[in-house]
Structure 1
Amino acid sequence: MAAQDGRCGLLAPLPPLPHIDLMLKFMPILLAIAYALAMYRFSVWRTQRELDARSTDLADPMLKVMTDRLARALDLPRIKVHIYEIDPVNGLAAPDGRIFITRGFYRKFQNGEVTADEMATVIAHELGHVALGHTRRRMIDFSGQNALRTALAMVLSRFLPGIGVWIANGLTTLLAARLSRSDEYEADEYAAALLTKAGIGTAPQKSLFNKLEALTQARSGAAPAWLMSHPKTTERIAAIEKLEARWR
């Protein structure tokens, strides 16, 4: 065999294939997409398993009166609520549409710190998250944000070693906070309309916001509103009052 490229018996190295180069360039994005899909499925499974293991049905006569009023306003036979056995004061909606009140929140009601009308506003708010598709989208957003964080960290670390990961974390945190605040405003608006239709009104909704402010002030401190997952209490109340003015 004739020598080629000045080297006896050796062929010149083949040039890299264009499609291989293209795959290598987009490998971080492909890996991020695969990671997002895996995280989404795992997050849904883990959330449902946790809620199943640590929840019971809410059986309270006073609160059933309130949920029945909400159900009639929505033309539903009933609204089932569950107690999630954790201490922090919170309400949540699961990806499968179930509504939960934490044991800590229910304890506030039992102690007289929160009224039945105010508890109804929490349930209406979580119903809003379900009706508006926030619960499933939040799982997708959470997975997508993790994937975006991973992809950004991989790309930025090539150009900014040492701080690329920090920048990626900061950008995705800001994005998550903004999406979450938008969802909260929408769920507040849904709850205000539902509470008005049910004859409960928005006064308990606003009074509960002020109570929650007192309960969570120590935790949130002076964090800027754009970094918080929930809007400021004054802004949420102002948004509801704008709705009331528009409805009048």
Structure 2
Amino acid sequence: MARRAGNPRAVLAVAARTPHILGMLKLTPIILAILYALAMYHFSVWRTKRELDSRSTELADPRLKRLTDRLAAALDLDRIRVHIYEIDPVNGLAAPDGRIFITRGFYRKYQNGEVTGEEMASVIAHELGHVALGHTRRRMIDFSGQNALRTALAMVLSRFLPGIGVWIANAVATLLAARLSRGDEYEADAYAAALLHKAGIGIGPQKSLFHKLDALTRSRSGVMPAWLMSHPKTEERIAALEKLESRWTNLPT
């Protein structure tokens, strides 16, 4: 005896809902990626603040303070606080909460006379640019978004390209991150140049420091293509600064 067919209305209702269910299933990787990005953002902010709080102290250097006071006066600020981050790599950074950091390795080069006070001031001005232009917070969001993009792409591509889908997703996310980072560096360079010019320090120390940093990182940058580097090439950064400088010197008085 044949099995009785189900209720026609119920069958039609299930059939009508099927496209919507399939649509939701297709969106699942995107929804998961968004939730992952939000979680990563909050975790990254918390982890960064904890790391910097535990491994940094405020810089107390009279010579550098005289220079940072000139930067502060140009910005109509009472003072600019700079912190020493206790790690060896030569670097400067701006935290999402707006604090400026110089690594111990960088400060040591200043103490040894390898870097001048004016060159250190150019680093501080550059990091102030990242803060003023909103790069520090956006970078944290970008980092979370890039991880979310990597996760979503890996989920989708792995269905069609097993074995290489994850590799393609990582490559796309890396290229995106490098492009965004290079744009931020150019903008922060321009901000620092304007600030140094207004403070009467000039952009000479900014350019000379680029040459010194290029010597320190030449072996690494020589291997990696320019479009994969998180920072623009030194000669391109200096050329952009000199273009700005020529505009300022040619302005009518």
- Relative to the length of structure 2, the TM-score reads 0.93
**Structure-2 separation of matches of 1:219 and 1:63:** 30
**Structure-2 separation of matches of 1:198 and 1:68:** 9
Deviation at 1:91, TM superposition (A): 0.1
**Helix, strand or coil at the partner of 1:17:** helix
**Structure-2 separation of matches of 1:247 and 1:201:** 11
Deviation at 1:20, TM superposition (A): 1.7
**Structure-2 separation of matches of 1:11 and 1:173:** 54
Which runs of no fewer than 5 residues in structure 2 stay unpaired? none
Identity %: 80
Q: Does 1:177 align with 2:175?
A: no
Deviation at 1:8, TM superposition (A): 4.9
**Structure-2 separation of matches of 1:18 and 1:181:** 43
Q: Does 1:29 align with 2:30?
A: yes
Deviation at 1:223, TM superposition (A): 1.2
Deviation at 1:10, TM superposition (A): 6.5
**Structure-2 separation of matches of 1:169 and 1:65:** 45
Which runs of no fewer than 5 residues in structure 1 stay unpaired? none
Deviation at 1:21, TM superposition (A): 1.6
User: 1:70 maps to which residue?
Assistant: 71
Tell me which amino acid in the other structure corresponds to 2:3: R
- Bigger Cα displacement from structure 2, 18-27 vs 170-179: 18-27
Residue-by-residue CA offset, 1:34-76 (whole Å, 9 max, x unaligned): 0000000000000000000000010001000010000000000
State the number of aligned residues: 244
User: 1:55 maps to which residue?
Assistant: 56
**Structure-2 separation of matches of 1:130 and 1:197:** 18
User: 1:132 maps to which residue?
Assistant: 133
Tell me which amino acid in the other structure corresponds to 1:224: P
Q: How does 1:190-229 map to 2 (within 5 A)?
A: 190-229=191-230
Tell me which amino acid in the other structure corresponds to 1:215: L
Deviation at 1:17, TM superposition (A): 3.1
Deviation at 1:216, TM superposition (A): 1.2
**Helix, strand or coil at the partner of 1:71:** helix
Deviation at 1:11, TM superposition (A): 6.6
User: 2:18 maps to which residue?
Assistant: 17
User: CA-atom RMSD, angstroms?
Assistant: 1.4
Deviation at 1:19, TM superposition (A): 2.5
User: 1:101 maps to which residue?
Assistant: 102
Tell me which amino acid in the other structure corresponds to 1:32: A
- Relative to the length of structure 1, the TM-score reads 0.95
User: 2:240 maps to which residue?
Assistant: 239
Deviation at 1:9, TM superposition (A): 8.1
**Structure-1 separation of matches of 2:52 and 2:136:** 14
**Structure-1 separation of matches of 2:49 and 2:213:** 26
**Structure-2 separation of matches of 1:11 and 1:221:** 71
Residue-by-residue CA offset, 1:72-131 (whole Å, 9 max, x unaligned): 000000000000000000000000000000000000000000000000000000000000
Distance 1:9 1:236, change over 3 A: closer
**Helix, strand or coil at the partner of 2:223:** coil
Tell me which amino acid in the other structure corresponds to 1:30: I
Q: As a proportion of its length, which structure holds more helix?
A: 2
Residue-by-residue CA offset, 1:186-227 (whole Å, 9 max, x unaligned): 000000000000000000000000000011112333311100
